[in-house]
Structure formats: structure tokens, C-alpha cells
Amino acid sequence: MKQDVLRPGDIAVALALAKAPQAALSALASTTGRSVGEVHNAIRRLNAGRLLKPGQREVVREPFLRFLQWGMPVAFPARIGGITRGIVTARVIAPKDVGAGKARDGDLVEFVWPDVDGTVRGQALTPLYPAAPAAARRDVGFWTLLALVDLLRVGGAREQVLALDQLERVLTWTPD
């Protein structure tokens, strides 16, 4: 028997589930940019880690937020590189950032996921999982979540408070 270990992409699946608990596997795969099989395995590992309600696809928000705060920087430490071109991350995605693709060539931001199509520049931050930049480009809401998680990985105490506050707002929001 092998020990279950959470993988970075599993966190993306948990974020997608927190946003849409009833979503089908195919929808989750489309949101996160992972295959249906990978999403299925991620849900199994998240269940084993008790980050989902037993037998359900619903994230247990409080423990999940605590894991994001204290577990992410330790389990998936940020890997920072040199100044490069890419997509904005590790910040609260403001409306002006959504058009980052239209930003003036050479605009400098804090951190970016290296990306050939990105036009802003910043310190390279390795994405949580390889498909993150593509998934972020497809869904701004999901991009916001990934960027906040990166802020938790890379930021200090003040940035953590800010990121957690934003994540709490998004993850505890329930549709009418």
C-alpha cells in the first residue's frame, strides 16, 4: 500500500470545487486544464486528506483555508526566478490586470508565470502546476484564485492576511 500524497494540481481541483461543488468531472477538467482522470485522482487524494466532505465533492472550507495558509508555502514552496515575460500572478487580480495581455510592452509587475504570450514583465514564479497559465487565461475567476494562492506561497504575513481575506470571501460565497 502506498502513501497518498497531495500534488500541486490537486489544490487547483479543490479551488475549482470550492467555486462549483456540483460541477461535473469534465467541467472541473476544463476549468483546471487537467484531464478527467487527473481530476478524478485529485478528488480521491483530497478525500483522503479530508479536505472534502466524506464521500462528497464539497470542500470543507475552514480546514482548506488553514491548509492554504500554512500548508501551501511548506508543501509547495514558491520557486522564484529572474525577470521574465509572462502572466500576472501572486496578487489580487484587479480589473486592470485582466487586460494584462493588452498591457504596454515592458510593464513591470511583481511576479509572473513565464509565458511566451505574456506581455508584462516580472520575476518568474513557477506556476503551481504546468497548465495553470492556460487555465487562468480561460477563466478570470479561477485566475484570481490561483493568483491568491501564489500570494500565500510567496508573500509575507501582511500579504497572507490580504490573500486569506480575499479567498475567504470567494470560497464562502454561496449562490442564492
Binding site for other proteins (CB under 8 A): 73, 77-78, 80, 90-91, 109-111, 123, 151, 154-159, 161-162
Answer whether 150's CB lies under 8 Å from 78's CB: yes
Nearer to other proteins, 37 or 81 (CB): 81
Q: Hey, how many other C-beta atoms are within 10 angstroms of the C-beta on 156?
A: 7
Cβ neighbour number for residue 24 with a 10 Å cutoff? 12
Nearer to other proteins, 32 or 123 (CB): 123
Q: How far is CA 51 from CA 60, 66, 74, 111, 134, in A?
A: 6, 10, 17, 28, 25
Are the C-beta atoms of residues 137 and 87 closer than 8 Å to each other?
A: yes
Q: Residue 119 Cβ, how far from other proteins at the closest point, in Å?
A: 17
Minimal distance in Å, beta carbon 41 to other proteins? 30
Q: Are 128 and 79 in contact (CB under 8 A)?
A: no
Cβ proximity to other proteins, 31 vs 89, nearer residue: 89
Please give the backbone phi and psi of residue 99, each rounded to the nearest 5 degrees, phi first. Answer: -90, 30
Spatial separation of the C-alpha atoms in residues 80 and 126, rounded to whole Å: 7
- By C-beta, is 122 or 133 nearer to other proteins? 122
58 three-class SS: coil
Rg (CA), the chain: 16
Minimal distance in Å, beta carbon 73 to other proteins?
8
Q: Cα separation of 128 and 125, whole Å?
A: 9
Question: Whole-number minimum distance, CB 62 to other proteins, in Å?
Answer: 17
Rounded to a whole number of angstroms, the minimum distance from the CB of residue 7 to other proteins is: 22
Nearer to other proteins by C-beta: 139 or 159? 159
Nearer to other proteins, 87 or 154 (CB): 154
- Tell me the closest approach of the beta carbon of residue 16 to other proteins, in angstroms: 25
